[in-house]
A = this chain, B = another copy of it.
């Protein structure tokens, strides 16, 4: 039997890198590859209480079918949290999603016809590219520097290509870990207004800050009219990924349309976990917990940074992340990091080569390192292994 799959499945192939990393998860390898929080830091006791409370409420509503838009009290809590970030929206403008990955998918589903254009950074979040491609969207990269997109290239492409959307991860981005300047944020919004383009602001990492909370302004907070920006975030990095609770806020018309699309995809997000999240926010110091996460992850970032600094290799370059979960490392241009990965895995350490994050013109000498999952001791050991591999490479690539 030959199955006649849809054309879009050609964008759903597993990558060679993923196959290598599948092996990694089973062995003694120290992995800096995934984007995982440390499970030992999950607020497990508070979650136990939150679920117990949800399961002793008496009316069992937490176990019944729920509204597609999300559990109303959770939407209200989320609207309040958004206000603390300067995003003034009512709970009617909030859609609870099954992780922020689903927010990207639902947005694409209601927005794109085949051939539509999206502008993105380059590199950008790999799984967003996969979603866009599965809707046969044309993804066009915009030139960027450490402060965000290049405004000239952006406006030129907006004018010329008439994209439906500009997709950005402006805060501690994946994979680059960088932070857009306020000026670039404002300018992106102005360009979007001028040319009537929607901005999709993907912000899963915004709460993982190393310079105190509140050090950035979401682009959505600048959009006073609530017309141009869809903003998505998640509890996957701050509470626990397993719950698959994300949310998206934006113009009512788009949120409503995405809710209608969600109804066909999974009816609604796990109600019990939504009720438990409300309990957690009411009964537990979530912000205190996030603060201790930031403290611990910053320490791990610094351990990794020290070992990166110890590498004596001309052309190796990185920007110290001010939040988030990743170092983005540029190796000397002769090094192909995809070719380096099998050697690294053999030595007991893994990373993600940078190429798959690029829309085009991939810099094959880049790699991404996660510093949140491994404990500081393991980061040290893993980085020592990585340094050894890089040093060997140097001997091969740059024989003295």
Using CB atoms and an 8 Å cutoff, list the residues of chain A in contact with chain B.
1-9, 12-14, 34, 36-37, 39-40, 42, 44, 47-48, 51-52, 55-56, 59-66, 98-99, 101-102, 105, 109-113, 116, 127, 130-131, 134-135, 164, 196, 198, 227-228, 236, 240-244, 251, 253-254, 257, 260-261, 263-273
Contacts and interface: CB of A to CB of B under 8 A. Distances in A.
A61 B39 contact: yes
A241 B105 contact: no
A132 to B, nearest CB: 10
A269 B42 CA distance: 18
Most buried by B among A6, A102, A113, A135: A6
B243 A270 contact: yes
Given A51-B52, A65-B241, A105-B266, 12 more contacts: A1-B251, A3-B198, A4-B111, A5-B111, A6-B110, A6-B111, A6-B113, A37-B64, A44-B55, A98-B244, A242-B271, A244-B270
A198 to B, nearest CB: 7
Kindly list the 9 A-B residue pairs having the minimum CB-CB distance in the complex, ordered from nearest.
A242-B271, A63-B240, A39-B60, A12-B260, A98-B266, A48-B55, A65-B241, A63-B242, A1-B227
Given A39-B60, A267-B244, A261 B51 contact: no
Contacts of A55: 44, 47-48, 51
A345 B283 CA distance: 40
A296 to B, nearest CB: 15
A111 to B, nearest CB: 6
